[in-house]
Chains A and B, each alone.
Chain A
Amino acid sequence: GDSVTQMEGPVTLSEEAFLTINCTYTATGYPSLFWYVQYPGEGLQLLLKATKADDKGSNKGFEATYRKETTSFHLEKGSVQVSDSAVYFCALSARSNDYKLSFGAGTTVTVRA
């Protein structure tokens, strides 16, 4: 079945550091890929998405590129802020799974001033 594997956290960084969170997936066909962010005490917010190979999603300084050859969708940000402290979930949606979201385990990121 479809699945997502994320790098395990927690990740602790200093402000202005570079952030990468690795995400790889297994799916039949051509899934859509998403990154969601969950700030403390809140629901999930869609951070960015990509729906086909080589698409780059970007938002709020975050980027991720849909790499079909490596089945990856790694999240990157060049200079993190304390306000980026949150849990980040990689997810996929595919017709083979009735378009249900398959989530990774989540990565907790803490940015220190």
Chain B
Amino acid sequence: DTEVTQTPKHLVMGMTNKKSLKCEQHMGHRAMYWYKQKAKKPPELMFVYSYEKLSINESVPSRFSPECPNSSLLNLHLHALQPEDSALYLCASSQSYNEQFFGPGTRLTVL
């Protein structure tokens, strides 16, 4: 299995809602990433987990809360988001700092 899967594919939420994005990989990769991508821009790194521990937080607002329950799963908990947080959220994984493999993304709209 060489896939990174993400759910849901689309998500619409209000500014007072709490929701979660999920990511899963079964390639045995030890690093997992969350990115945010605005239209026509490259992805921006948000968080990196290495061996299930948070290793990089790119100064992301606390309304985004990552979680890595095990080596195959990565969650991103969302709370009190703003309309400007609407974007494509991409998950990726990699093994030993080699190339990263991306999931299809979750298209988030905050109303």
Question: Which A residues form the contact surface with B (CB < 8 A)?
Answer: 32, 34, 36, 42-46, 49, 87, 89, 91, 93, 95, 98-101, 103-106, 108
Contacts and interface: CB of A to CB of B under 8 A. Distances in A.
Given A49-B99, A100-B56, A101-B43, 12 more contacts: A32-B99, A43-B105, A44-B43, A44-B90, A44-B92, A91-B42, A99-B97, A101-B100, A103-B42, A105-B41, A105-B42, A106-B40
A99 B103 CA distance: 19
A98 B42 CA distance: 19
A42 B105 contact: yes
Nearest to A98: B56
Contacts of B97: 93, 95, 99
If over half of A's interface residues share one DSSP class (helix, strand or loop), that class is named, otherwise mixed; here it is: strand
Interface residues of B, number: 21
Interface of B: 4, 6, 40-43, 45, 48, 56, 88, 90, 92, 97-105
Contacts of B100: 46, 101
Contact of B101 (A46, A89, A98, A106): A46
5 contacts: A44-B90, A46-B102, A93-B97, A101-B45, A106-B42
A31 to B, nearest CB: 11
Contacts of A43: 4, 6, 88, 90, 102-105
B48 A100 contact: yes
Contact of A44 (B45, B48, B102): B102
A100 B90 contact: no
A99 to B, nearest CB: 4
Contacts of A104: 42
Contacts of A34: 99
B6 to A, nearest CB: 8
A51 B104 CA distance: 25
